[in-house]
Amino acid sequence: MKLIRGLLTQKTQTNLQNVSVAVVATLASAFLLNMGVWEQISGSWQNWHAYPYAASGKRFAIVVAKLTGDENGRQTRHILSSLEREFSTGNQGTQVDILSYPKELKSTGDTQNVLWATETARAHLSTFRADVVIWGEVAATDKVLRLRFTTLNSHAVTAKPYNLTDALELPSNFNLDFGAVLATLATIQIQPLLEKQGRVLAEILEPIAMKLRILVKNPPKGFSDNDMATLWSACADAEKQIGEERANNAKLQDAIILYNKALSVWTRERFPVPWATTKNNLGNALKVLSDRQRSTSNHKEAIVAYRDALQEWTQQRAPVVWAMLHSNLGLAFQALGERETGTEGFKEAVISYRMALTEVTRERFPVGWAVIQLNLGVTLSLLGERELGTKNLNEATSAFRESLKVFSRTRFPIYWAVTHINLGATLLRLGERDAGTERLREAIVAFRKALEVLKREFVPVDWGSAQANLCYGLQVLGMRENRTWRLRQAIGTCREALTVLPRNELPLQSAAARLNLGMSLLGFGIQLGSTDRLEEALTAFQEAQLDATVENFPFMWSLIQVNISETLKASARLQMKNDLILACSKLDSGRQVLMKALDVLRKSATEYYFLMAERRLQTVKILLASSCGVGMVLNTDELQTSGETR
């Protein structure tokens, strides 16, 4: 009865962020830096490496080439010493790998020489596995250094002068300028990765995140507040993406802390665009984390964060970003709707998505449009699940098929797979309301297509989601066709799903998979006439309701109660001949459980499942009356409740 939708989470809004990259100060992510190995240079122990050493690749790496005109290397050593002081962590060395290159990059003369030297510096980045090369020349006075910072993405060739202090040390603005270089590099390094929509990014991001963590843990002394905010935001972006893909809630919590740190610097008054961007990103992280928890507080905080950002990004000022935020709002309202009674959250989500589609059209932004269509389809499917009729379910199917016109398997494999999970889930809901099996078979095909792309080792949560949905599809089809082997397949598939859907990290998804497992065991027990399988089903339902409580997930809780009642009824039928008293006791327990479920379903405005549960209650009453005596059928409270439901 319960399907696990594809866990798109915040991958869905990355597309629209990319669409609006010219407007949004993008979410940065930078490089982290390594602790040096002690090398002896010029008779003293230093925290830098001498040529021909290469960087470790575990930390940010800086190459300092010998300055032109620095005959005895003294001024080059001033730069090395300044970097060492800036990135020192005491007895642990430095936060970065600092490498000394003994050859000059000749930057004097005409522009052609400077361009050649710049390209040579870029080549050194690859040779030394470095991130920045510092090079330049010493002026005639020996107290003015003209320096350049070269990264893979830098284009400027103009040198900047730095006047040495009376103590022959580099001035404080050197560290500030270098901090700005690192902050910019952070943005440049992470942005292209986050733009790879629909792909697995955690494995690529992890080395960058490792470097960022070192800088964030021990902030360099000379960095400006703005540069630190950029690094915090960059690290948060990496942690959020890794935490999302790998179901690591600790990383999501770290991301939330880092975004809030960035917001302590980027206020709306001083930095309106970074403030609004970070508010959006904070909302994304809160929403993903809340999807995996029992509480609704983070969803509500996410909604507040998105609405804060909308104060700065109005439809008139930034229409595409405004649309992105409404898309994100839709996701938060949708998730809130799953945890609350009624359908208001889903209806708010539908409104938000349709507002976003007024600006994000297929012609202008095909990927962003497809993402919103996908999310709109998910919400319509959830809404249709709780209502009578099939209008919203059919509209959801259309929305998914529209998305697939953009999400091809080759270009967007993850989105393609997740769309098939959601399409399959909706076809299953439609198939349950049909007499035939065509839509049920289509749903199973859709789930299996998704599993061709989703691999357990790379995207375990999405893989588990697809497995749990396939389990449910096999169960429904197995019961419809009276095929025991399909139910056996369903049980194995659900158990596989549960290996990657841990209760502590993903309570909602784990509860839904246990519900599907219980239903498969229930069907298997009915077909085999096995009380052992029915007991296993009852255990699965009881475990599911430990996470899906009536307070946190009332709709799912009510579905669990309906299935507990069905299990008790099936067990009672098997025991009627041998132990009538026990059988009647189970039937009455099932009746009481159904009464509680009906009360919640009525409040949730879930017409389809309310009527289904009411029909099952009548069946239990008839069994009680025919097998156990009329006196057990109704009591005063039930008569009153039954009258109200009509």
pLDDT digits (tens, 9 = 90+) for 97-112: 888 888 888 766 567 7
Q: What is the pLDDT of residue 503?
A: 87
> How many distinct structural domains can be found in the chain?
2
Both tokens assigned to 501: 């859907």
Query: What is the dihedral angle through the alpha carbons of 487, 490, 494, 496, rounded to the nearest 10 degrees?
Result: 120
Both tokens assigned to 500: 């990657």
Q: Is residue 241 part of a domain?
A: no
Both tokens assigned to 367: 């990927």
C-alpha of 118 from chain center: 39
The residue out of 174, 192, 210 marking a domain boundary is 192
Q: What is the pLDDT of residue 343?
A: 85
Q: Are 568 and 582 in contact (CB under 8 A)?
A: no
Q: Is residue 615 part of a domain?
A: yes
Residue 468: closest CA among 505, 434, 493: 493
The residue out of 192, 207, 237 marking a domain boundary is 192
Q: Are 385 and 608 in contact (CB under 8 A)?
A: yes
Q: What is the pLDDT of residue 27?
A: 22
Q: Burial of 438 by CB count in 10 Å (0-12 exposed, 13-18 middle, 19+ buried)?
A: exposed
Q: Are 137 and 108 in contact (CB under 8 A)?
A: yes
Q: Are 646 and 614 in contact (CB under 8 A)?
A: no
Q: Where do we find the tokens 């915090």?
A: 232
Q: What is the pLDDT of residue 52?
A: 47
DSSP-assigned letters across all residues of 588-610: HHHHHHHHHHHHHHHHTT-HHHH
Residue 340: closest CA among 600, 561, 547: 600
Q: What is the sign, positive or negative, of the torsion defined by CA atoms of 388, 392, 397, 400?
A: negative
Distance CA 33, CA 182 (A): 11
In angstroms, the first-to-last Cα distance of the chain is: 24
Residue 377: closest CA among 407, 346, 405, 408: 346
Q: Burial of 612 by CB count in 10 Å (0-12 exposed, 13-18 middle, 19+ buried)?
A: middle
Residue 415: closest CA among 109, 200, 129, 632: 200
Q: Where do we find the tokens 């104060």?
A: 311
Distance CA 522, CA 516 (A): 10
Distance CA 395, CA 387 (A): 13
Q: Burial of 138 by CB count in 10 Å (0-12 exposed, 13-18 middle, 19+ buried)?
A: buried
The residue out of 192, 214, 237 marking a domain boundary is 192
Tell me the pLDDT tens digit for each residue of 430-461: 999 988 999 999 999 999 999 999 999 988 99
Q: Is residue 538 part of a domain?
A: no
3-state secondary structure (DSSP) of residue 288: helix
SS3 labels along 418-451 = HHHHHHHHHHHHHHHCCCCCHHHHHHHHHHHHHH
Both tokens assigned to 459: 């995207």
Q: What is the pTM for the complete model shown?
A: 0.67
Residue type, 126: S
DSSP assignment letter at 342: S
Q: What is the pLDDT of residue 124?
A: 82
Residue 604: closest CA among 541, 563, 352, 596: 596
Cβ-based neighbour number of residue 21 at 10 Å: 12
Q: Are 614 and 645 in contact (CB under 8 A)?
A: yes
385: Cβ contacts below 8 Å, ≥ 6 apart = 3, 393, 429, 606, 608
Distance CA 236, CA 224 (A): 18
Q: Is residue 439 part of a domain?
A: no
Cβ-based neighbour number of residue 156 at 10 Å: 10
Q: Is residue 436 part of a domain?
A: no
Q: Is residue 639 part of a domain?
A: yes
Distance CA 50, CA 33 (A): 17
Distance CA 346, CA 564 (A): 27
Q: What is the pLDDT of residue 168?
A: 57
Q: Please, where are the H alpha helices in 198-296?
A: 202-217, 225-245, 249-265, 272-291
Distance CA 261, CA 371 (A): 30
Q: Are 292 and 506 in contact (CB under 8 A)?
A: yes
Q: Is residue 23 part of a domain?
A: no
Residue 23: closest CA among 317, 354, 366, 358: 317
Q: Burial of 167 by CB count in 10 Å (0-12 exposed, 13-18 middle, 19+ buried)?
A: exposed
Tell me if the bond preceding 52 is cis, omega within 30° of 0.
yes
Both tokens assigned to 10: 């915040």
Contacts 24+ apart (CB under 8 A), 164-173: 164/75, 164/78, 168/78, 168/143, 169/78, 169/81, 169/82, 170/78, 170/79, 170/82, 170/145, 172/222
Alpha carbon distances (Å) from 554 to 302, 314, 343, 590, 598: 21, 36, 12, 18, 11
Q: What is the pLDDT of residue 140?
A: 62
The list of the chain residues with pLDDT below 50 reads: 1-2, 4-52, 198, 630-646
DSSP assignment letter at 628: I
Q: Is residue 303 part of a domain?
A: no
- Give the residue numbers spanning the domain of 165: 39-192
H-run or E-run covering 163:
strand 160-163
